Amino acid sequence: MKRCIPRNRTGSQLTPRSPSKNGFTLLEVILAVAIMSILIGSIFTITNSSILLSQSVVENQSDHRHQVALETYLETLFLNLPADASLDLRDGENGQQILTIDNPGTYFPSMEGDRHAKQLIASIFKNRDGLLDLKTTWSSSLSSDTNSTYSSQSITLVDQMTSFEWNIYSTTDKEWHPTWSSKLKRPSHIRVTYSSATSLDKLTRTYWIPPKTKVR
């Protein structure tokens, strides 16, 4: 039996077509995987950078709010010191300064309601991280009043600082002093210099203390 050879309409012999290729070669798959890995890595890098940038912005905004709140409080405190207020600045046992203001002219909350503060003590302590915290304590009686009812309230005004220093200006010798006695003449200015853990730049703020007003 003769084999039948397929021919076209013109009578020419048809040649069999080679089977078409389906799918991808191994090299194409490897290249595709490599490109996808690079793209995914780039996306994660950009996303991580955006998250870190957002966290940094939030932390800076929070630090700025704390800084503004501290400076506003100190300005209000010293600007409104009564005529009979007295200041004492000395070094504590931990080597940090302690600022004591008798009759600061402020109030503080207590269990019995708002109490008039007869004394304000601003102390600096080292926290667990080895950084500095500024703690303020209001009390309803002076430390020398042993017979009066005692009530106090303490809060941390600012924390996580690398440095904090008070200086009081004397109108007598025209100098700044890191210590001050309540027996001395009422100072005209008080200066605070501090730096936070997030920014090593030192900030210096000077606050005016009004002179005693004479009662007519």
Split at pLDDT 50, 70, 90, the class of 106 is confident
Structure tokens at 93: 């046992």
In a domain, 186, yes or no: yes
Q: pLDDT tens-digit profile of 53-72?
A: 555 555 555 667 878 888 89
Split at pLDDT 50, 70, 90, the class of 157 is confident
Average confidence (pLDDT) over 104-129: 84
In a domain, 112, yes or no: yes
Say what the pLDDT of residue 216 is.
47
In a domain, 23, yes or no: no
Please report, rounded to a whole number, the percentage of residues in the chain having pLDDT higher than 90. Answer: 34
Helix (H, G, I), strand (E, B) or coil at 19: coil
**Is the CB of residue 134 less than 8 Å from the CB of residue 164?**
yes
10 Å CB burial of residue 89 (0-12, 13-18, 19+) is: buried
In a domain, 171, yes or no: yes
Helix (H) or strand (E) segment spanning residue 156: strand 152-170
In a domain, 160, yes or no: yes
Structure tokens at 37: 């890995």
In a domain, 12, yes or no: no
Total number of domains in the chain = 1
Alpha-carbon span 125 to 114, nearest angstrom: 27
Alpha-carbon span 147 to 4, nearest angstrom: 129
In a domain, 20, yes or no: no
Other beta carbons within 10 angstroms of residue 76's beta carbon come to 11
Residue-range definition of the domain harbouring residue 189: 60-208
Q: pLDDT tens-digit profile of 158-194?
A: 888 999 999 999 988 999 999 999 899 899 999 999 9
> What is the pTM (predicted TM-score) of this model?
0.68
Alpha-carbon span 179 to 171, nearest angstrom: 14
In a domain, 13, yes or no: no
